[in-house]
Amino acid sequence: MNRILVATDGSEGADRAVDYAARRAKADGAELLIVNVMGGYGLPDKVFLAFTNDQNVLLKELLASQSAATLTTARDRAREAGVSTIVLESRTGEVAQTILDIAHEKKADAIVVGKRGAGRVAGVLLGSVSQKLVSLSPLPLTVVP
């Protein structure tokens, strides 16, 4: 295995996924690709349309800052676990599909996600992102409880 993608939103479940992926990457000598996807945040589109241009710019800056902080924290966790090669990636979009797109573009060998993230409760047993990934991923997928 050469490259493991782990998705994080900074939640406790995502931290467990990062820890698991870091252990696997270290054991396999693989690169760890840590991804944060900024999705719709449970807000209806009409809320975003009501913002002025300046408000939209500020919101994007705040979200980018939060994403950078989330990725930095995850990178530090992976470094503590002994992973030598770590790549960070931040994107916007529909979360599950964007994770799959990044995995394809970066030629990941496996995907690791937490069972539940910081978003809204959408699944009975799994969070909506992990549930979608289980259904759609062409790669080996590990869902960490």
pLDDT less than 70: residues of the chain = 40-45, 48, 117-127
The pTM of this model reads: 0.87
Phi, psi of 83 (to 5 degrees): -75, 130
Phi/psi region, residue 92 (left: phi>0; alpha: psi -120 to 50; beta: rest), is: beta
Owning domain of residue 77: 3-144
Please report, for the domain that includes residue 97, its CATH number: 3.40.50.620
| Burial grade of 47 (CB within 10 A; 0-12, 13-18, 19 or more) | exposed
Number of domains in the chain: 1
pLDDT given for residue 119 in this prediction? 52
Q: Give the pLDDT confidence of 86-109 residue by residue, as tens digits.
A: 999 999 889 999 999 999 999 999
